[in-house]
Chain A
């Protein structure tokens, strides 16, 4: 049964990276379309819209972080696979879910907000600071999920 425990734990790491990475790719993609639209007409706004475009990219990094911590915890990184019970494996899988699911959905939502914020920069470049804040608000919830996933994965005794 011990083999199944490590499978669940690895599945946890995969969920964290997969879902949040997918969300970020979609989010950055949506914002990138808007950014391209603005730069087509006004290349001088490239730097500003690039920063806003990158905002939905952080969820992917959070997922990567949780994935890393999980992998080193279960010994996939650094050699020597840990001997995990099914229960511990499932606990790790559950701990990875928050950043996976919240990462996926918040990155898409943030991508849409970023696209709208790029519209602000297109019309009123001097309001760049305010435009940044709207997509940054969505980030809060990805950070909260990261926090819980981080605490949970770190807290599970292997």
Chain B
């Protein structure tokens, strides 16, 4: 009989794929003279809800919530989506560690739509009950907390937790047993490593710094990337040309935003064949990433228009759509 546990979920996602934004709709949004009109167009397409009204942030947040709601509804096993929720979880840990160490409270810095919401994370860090945290978090939380307390070096604390997050994403991908999730996780880590290399090269960071920030993955070699970053930007591009991220080398030469867009587009290209899958988790992941991608693109268009950016500047940041 094979594995048919995703049959219901995939059929439902298939029906929902029809409401994803197409490239044509993105063009329409770009053609709107103001951000308000573009937002109105989206609201007519069913974005947001009554409570969100005409507030851009509320509409976009509501859309993200809706996406997760659908996935929670249909997925027989949510643990395969850990790769997507871990970044928020580790962000919460990072924010909580900093808040507790600096004894400053800032509103709205936590994500509440993950397994440990802000309040709870804050309580755990305050009471130093790190063992209540899942996975590789207890160790890194303790280490980051003590490091920040002793050195007051926020960046060191950041890279420790970020590296742990990347490793957690990579391991969750491997654990999921689904090749597409594993691929996604590994690509996420590889792209993060490349970004670290590029930024470290620009800011002249040492090899030790890069080593403590980058996570091992199959897509790129951390050691080679570090060597390339120490030699210069051209060397990073040259190294990438020999990997499966060759296209990124050209984008890197163009501009950082072109590289970001290339990363997103590559992910969408990898996921596109999932539109033709019927019995695997792939279409669910494809839909999730497609939604995140379109929400990000819409945010770029709307904020670009709000701030009076020229159309060309907005257009060069537009991502490819899934459908």
Query: A and B bound?
Result: yes
- Indicate if B10 sits at the interface (CB-CB under 8 A): yes
- Indicate if B74 sits at the interface (CB-CB under 8 A): yes
- Indicate if A33 sits at the interface (CB-CB under 8 A): yes
- Indicate if A96 sits at the interface (CB-CB under 8 A): no
Minimum C-beta distance from B15 to chain A (A):
4
Report Cα–Cα, A45/B18, bound state, in Å. Answer: 14
Using known A-B contacts A115-B279, A116-B278, determine if residue A122 contacts B18 with beta carbons closer than 8 Å. Answer: yes
Minimum C-beta distance from A131 to chain B (A):
12
Report Cα–Cα, A85/B41, bound state, in Å. Answer: 79
Using known A-B contacts A112-B278, A116-B278, determine if residue A37 contacts B18 with beta carbons closer than 8 Å. Answer: no
- Size range of the chain A interface in the assembly: 20 to 34
- Size range of the chain B interface in the assembly: 10 to 19
- Indicate if B67 sits at the interface (CB-CB under 8 A): no
- Indicate if A153 sits at the interface (CB-CB under 8 A): no
User: Which residues of chain A have C-beta atoms less than 8 A from B195's C-beta?
Assistant: none
In the complex, which residues 105-131 of chain A have their Cβ closer than 8 Å to any Cβ of chain B? 108, 112, 115-116, 118-119, 122-123
- Indicate if A36 sits at the interface (CB-CB under 8 A): yes
Judging by beta carbons under 8 Å apart, are A36 and B17 in contact?
Answer: no
- Indicate if B218 sits at the interface (CB-CB under 8 A): no
In the complex, which residues 3-60 of chain B have their Cβ closer than 8 Å to any Cβ of chain A? 4, 7-18
User: Which residues of chain A have C-beta atoms less than 8 A from B15's C-beta?
Assistant: 37-38, 40-42, 45, 122-123
Judging by beta carbons under 8 Å apart, are B74 and A119 in contact?
Answer: no
Using known A-B contacts A115-B278, A122-B18, A123-B18, determine if residue A35 contacts B1 with beta carbons closer than 8 Å. Answer: no
User: Which residues of chain A have C-beta atoms less than 8 A from B74's C-beta?
Assistant: 37
- Indicate if A34 sits at the interface (CB-CB under 8 A): yes
Minimum C-beta distance from B17 to chain A (A):
6
Judging by beta carbons under 8 Å apart, are B279 and A37 in contact?
Answer: no
- Nearest B residue (CB) for A118: B11
Judging by beta carbons under 8 Å apart, are A36 and B11 in contact?
Answer: yes
User: Which residues of chain A have C-beta atoms less than 8 A from B18's C-beta?
Assistant: 122-123
- Indicate if A16 sits at the interface (CB-CB under 8 A): no
Judging by beta carbons under 8 Å apart, are B17 and A37 in contact?
Answer: no
In the complex, which residues 59-92 of chain B have their Cβ closer than 8 Å to any Cβ of chain A? 74
Using known A-B contacts A115-B7, A119-B10, determine if residue A34 contacts B16 with beta carbons closer than 8 Å. Answer: no
Report Cα–Cα, A119/B12, bound state, in Å. Answer: 9
User: Which residues of chain B have C-beta atoms less than 8 A from A6's C-beta?
Assistant: none
**Interface of A: prevailing SS:** helix
Report Cα–Cα, A130/B224, bound state, in Å. Answer: 52
Report Cα–Cα, A112/B16, bound state, in Å. Answer: 20
- Indicate if A26 sits at the interface (CB-CB under 8 A): yes
Judging by beta carbons under 8 Å apart, are A35 and B11 in contact?
Answer: yes
User: Which residues of chain A have C-beta atoms less than 8 A from B1's C-beta?
Assistant: 26, 108
- Nearest B residue (CB) for A116: B278
Judging by beta carbons under 8 Å apart, are A37 and B278 in contact?
Answer: no
Minimum C-beta distance from B282 to chain A (A):
13
Judging by beta carbons under 8 Å apart, are A38 and B4 in contact?
Answer: no
Report Cα–Cα, A37/B15, bound state, in Å. Answer: 8
- Indicate if A97 sits at the interface (CB-CB under 8 A): no
Using known A-B contacts A115-B278, A115-B279, determine if residue A122 contacts B4 with beta carbons closer than 8 Å. Answer: no
In the complex, which residues 64-116 of chain A have their Cβ closer than 8 Å to any Cβ of chain B? 108, 112, 115-116
User: Which residues of chain B have C-beta atoms less than 8 A from A41's C-beta?
Assistant: 12, 15-16
Q: List 21 A-B contacts (CB under 8 A).
A: A26-B1, A33-B7, A34-B8, A34-B10, A36-B8, A36-B11, A37-B9, A37-B11, A38-B14, A40-B15, A41-B15, A108-B1, A112-B2, A112-B4, A115-B4, A116-B278, A119-B11, A122-B14, A122-B15, A123-B14, A123-B18
Extra pairs beyond A34-B10, A115-B279 (14, CB < 8 Å): A33-B4, A33-B8, A33-B11, A34-B8, A34-B278, A36-B8, A37-B13, A115-B7, A115-B11, A119-B14, A122-B11, A122-B18, A123-B14, A123-B17
10 closest Cβ pairs, A-B complex: A37-B11, A37-B12, A41-B15, A34-B11, A33-B7, A122-B14, A33-B8, A122-B15, A116-B278, A119-B14
